[in-house]
């Protein structure tokens, strides 16, 4: 007797009307290599970004040191924007949203 569309399989997928549990397993097995490939790509991207993060932070800190000297007006605007964003995020967090 086939499962109906409201029954869940352990994989978290619905089994469409007229399909059996074996059909759902076959679909899951076919999609497993795609999932594995996606997980591997995500892992590689995270590793790549991790290697660059320290260098990027040094670059940003260097910019923050140079900008007040090179363009004080833009730096003051940046500081005002940053403070406004911090206050906005703080209000959002306090609101419980």
Please report whether residue 14 resides in a domain.
Answer: no
Q: For residue 39, what are the domain limits?
A: 21-95
Query: 């703080």: which residue's tokens?
Result: 90
pLDDT at 4: 44
Q: For the chain, how many structural domains are there in total?
A: 1
Q: Is residue 58 part of a domain?
A: yes
Q: Answer yes or no: is 82 within a domain.
A: yes
Would you say residue 54 lies in a domain? yes
Question: Residue 48: inside a domain, yes or no?
Answer: yes
In a domain, 4, yes or no: no
The reply to whether 81 falls in a domain is yes
At residue 3 the predicted structure's pLDDT band, cuts being 50, 70 and 90, is: very low
Model pLDDT for residues 24-57, shown as the tens digit of each residue: 677 777 777 888 888 899 999 999 999 999 999 9
Query: Does residue 8 sit within a domain?
Result: no
The residue with tokens 């996606």 is 38
**Helices within the chain (DSSP H only):** 21-70, 72-95
Residue 13's SS3 state is: coil
DSSP bridge partners of 19: 3
């Amino acid at each position: 007797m086939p499962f109906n569309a409201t029954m869940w399989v352990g994989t978290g997928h619905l089994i469409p009307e007229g399909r059996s549990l074996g059909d759902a397993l076959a679909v899951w097995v076919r999609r497993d290599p795609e999932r594995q490939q996606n997980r591997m790509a995500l892992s590689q991207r995270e590793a790549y970004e991790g290697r660059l993060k320290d260098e990027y932070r040094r670059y940003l800190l260097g910019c923050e040191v140079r900008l007040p000297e090179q363009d004080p007006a833009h730096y003051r605007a940046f500081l005002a924007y940053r403070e406004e964003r911090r206050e906005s995020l703080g209000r959002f967090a306090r609101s419980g949203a």
